[in-house]
Amino acid sequence: MNKVFTKKIKTFDNAKSGLDETIFHNANGYIGVRGTLEEGVPAEWDTMRGMYINGFYEVIPMKQAENLCNFVDKKETMLNVCDTQTIKLNVNGLDFSLLTGKTLSNERTLDMEAGITSRAVRWQSPRGDKISLNVKRMTSFEELSLFTQEYSVTAENFDGELVVSSLHLPEVYNYSDPNDPRLAADSEQFLHCITADIKDSISYTVTETAVSKLRCAVLSAHALDAKRSRVCVSKTDDNTFIYNAVIHINKGETITLTKYTIITDSLRFEDPLKTGFDKLSAVLKNGIAYYYEKQRRYLTDFWSKAMMEIQNDNEMSLAVNFNMYQLLQSATKDSFGNIAAKGLSGEGYEGHYFWDTEMFMLPFFVLTNPRLAKQILKYRYQTLDKARENARLLGHKKGALFPWRTITGVECSGYYPSGTCQYHIDGDIAYAIINYYLVTGDLDFIKDYGAEILLESARLWLDVGFFDKDRFVINMVTGPDEYTCMVNNNYYTNMVAKYNLEWAVKFIKLLDDKDLSKALRKKLKLTDEELTTMSEASHKMFLPFSEELGVIPQDDSFFDKPVWDLKKTPKSDFPLLLHYHPLHLYRYQVCKQADTVMAFLLFPECADKDIMKRSFEYYENITTHDSSLSKCAFSVVAARLGMRDKAYSYFGNSAKLDLMNLHHNTKDGIHTANMGGCYMSVVYGFAGLSITEEGCFLNPFLPDKWEGYTFKFGYMGSVLKVEVDQTNVKISLEDGDDVSVNLYGKLQKITKKTPAKAPLQ
């Protein structure tokens, strides 16, 4: 299966360079490096030259025009921590640049099986000297602090002199765009050197933030394969290090410079610099070939569980594999981070974590790498005390409210109507924990972490909502649709709250039955009366419905507003959030993204199918899909409702969103949630996968444009392979114990020798 993406770059210009910086970035969940050109671009160009650490941040002021009680007045932001990717080349006295001389060929490649990106350039200088430049980059999955560059130059038609200058810049700036609310408004230097020196030709620095007091150590070492060279390492007055190699090269000869960068931080290590030297020593001893081999082995294991193949559509196969690979690159591998909205590919949304992780990305990991999924979920438990504090700041006497956007667990959203007011994040996290349990059966995780989160979230729902006669209502919240804010009884919010309350009680009963709940009951001072109230609130949760239209309203007042005419809105006015005041948007029936439709995705049995279909069609006409989280949700729901052509249409737009830059902002970073949604479209949509208390269910169909598709998923510790072609469906046991699945409503036991089979429906 093709997992190599190659892009031939015919023209090199400002408009396209930012997109390539994102598409060809390298990351491993701990560090991320933008795919900027080693030699750089002109100063006036719009480039985001960044290297990042997951969870590493500075605290900066957030100005409020009227700083009312407990308004957020500061936020955390992800930092550009250094620049060690700069390598400049001089050929016989002339600087190599794609803007001078003649570019004979130029392509970039992402190899998702080897875990590297590469550049292959043939260039002719203004003097006529021709070179071939090949660069390989890698962020290691074996040693998470390691970033490598293998820089090779071949003299095609000359004998002469090359000068290779490799830089290590410890003091860098963050990117900004004051015209885009999804980016920081100001470009600032947040890290300042406290140590900068050279030891045995290794440049090393320690930088520190002013407020968070976090430290980052960066070490850079080089290995040069050249017969005749003069090398020196020096430091300038501004703490820039330069590794300079003057090399005599003959026609047809190739020289290779291998650059090793180690990045460590004080969040994870008591002494980042000492740890950095220890790690670099081991790396230099092992050599680059060792890490290339480890990278390939890691990814062989990853693809063996996460494989997805589409027959007769290589372009779509490449897109879905690209999306899964980017999810792996973005996901934290330790307990100090999560998955940011842009992963580690850029500074869009300032490295913040949203509901995106639990709702759109985690399902992929739950089904393909439950160990990593559990690690990601633990982050929410580790920030639970801060969620409790956040609830108190908002006036709640009990419970926990997780922040809308955050790095460490504190709220970083300054515009509360479409930020903090999105209380549904508590229910989203609860849903993810329940989903993890239903897929894995991991009751120990529930005992140690999950149940406490659900109970504290359930307490929050009891505090924000109230009993109104024979129903439980929740007022003044915002659902997923950020064009409709601060409403009563948002359908999606009430549904996730209902589910959260129900399962909080259910988990305690499960733990009670195994005599595992005593410690948790004591810690939370949990009473049976409180559990009874939770159960009653869940049972009596108000879910609005319009008898007149036969449609589920997004909230109590949604149908009281005029409908926005999307057909008459100029294309230049999209996304609407950049062209209309929020209050103007709030007064209309217009949706940024799936909201009620998102509820249908999570709860396919929440309403009669005829009602869901009418509701789906209603929201289709008023949804802009200005959010990248939207079309994948519409795809899954359309598939479940039998609207197969629509399901595929929404899926196609979702799958290729970043590769084709469909939202025109991939330069700021990948859309990680959409990438997870793309996976969900195939597995939950086309394959009809559903895992509930009653078991595992599949109802596959085959899109008309495909000849077949195959994917794997995990269930109760076993790995299953699903194969769908034009006539049959086959589900095989790849690893683990025998399991039973419901295929088209018929329960079948799957063993190594007996797969489940059925004619395609």
Residue 89 amino acid letter:
L
- Contacts of residue 330, defined as CB under 8 A and 6 or more positions apart, other chains included, come to 27, 29, 32, 339, 340, 343, 344, 345, 361, 670, 672
> Would you list the DSSP string of 33-92?
E----TT---TTS-----EEETT-EEEEE---SS--TT---EEEEE----B---EEEEET
Q: Are strands 202-209 and 215-225 parallel, antiparallel or unpaired?
A: antiparallel
Two tokens, residue 246? 């003057």
Q: What are 113-116's contacts with CB under 8 Å, separation 24+?
A: 113/3, 113/4, 113/296, 113/299, 113/300, 113/303, 114/292, 114/295, 114/296, 114/299, 115/141, 115/295, 115/296, 115/298, 115/299, 116/26, 116/292, 116/295
> Would you list the DSSP string of 96-114?
--TTSSEEEEEEEEEETTT
Select which of 38, 76, 143, 482 is catalytic. Answer: 482
Q: Does residue 482 have an active-site annotation?
A: yes
Beta bridge partners of 319: none
Beta bridge partners of 477: 487
Judge contact between 148 and 118, C-beta under 8 A: no
Residue 575 preceded by cis peptide, ω within 30: yes
DSSP H or E segment with residue 521: helix 518-524
Q: How far apart are CA 340 and CA 27, in angstroms?
A: 12
What is the edge-to-edge ordering of all strands in the sheet holding 31-33? 26-27, 31-33, 51-53
Q: Are strands 191-199 and 690-692 parallel, antiparallel or unpaired?
A: unpaired
Alpha-carbon dihedral sign for residues 702, 708, 709, 710: positive
Residue with tokens 């290339």: 292
Tell me whether residue 16 is exposed, middle or buried, using C-beta atoms within 10 angstroms of its C-beta: 0 to 12, 13 to 18, 19 or more.
Answer: middle
Beta bridge partners of 221: 260
- CA angle 633–658–186, rounded 5-degree value: 105
SS3 641: coil
Tell me whether residue 199 is exposed, middle or buried, using C-beta atoms within 10 angstroms of its C-beta: 0 to 12, 13 to 18, 19 or more.
Answer: exposed
DSSP single-letter state for residue 274: H
**Helix boundaries (H) for 331-393:** 356, 362-368, 370-382, 384-393
Residues 297-326: b if buried by 16+ CB within 10 A, e if exposed: ebbeebbebbbbbbbebeebbbbbbbbbbb
Judge contact between 589 and 620, C-beta under 8 A: no
C-alpha distances in Å from residue 185, one per residue of 23, 342, 448, 731? 24, 17, 41, 51
- Contacts of residue 711, defined as CB under 8 A and 6 or more positions apart, other chains included, come to 307, 308, 309, 682, 683, 687, 721, 722
Residues with active-site annotation: 482
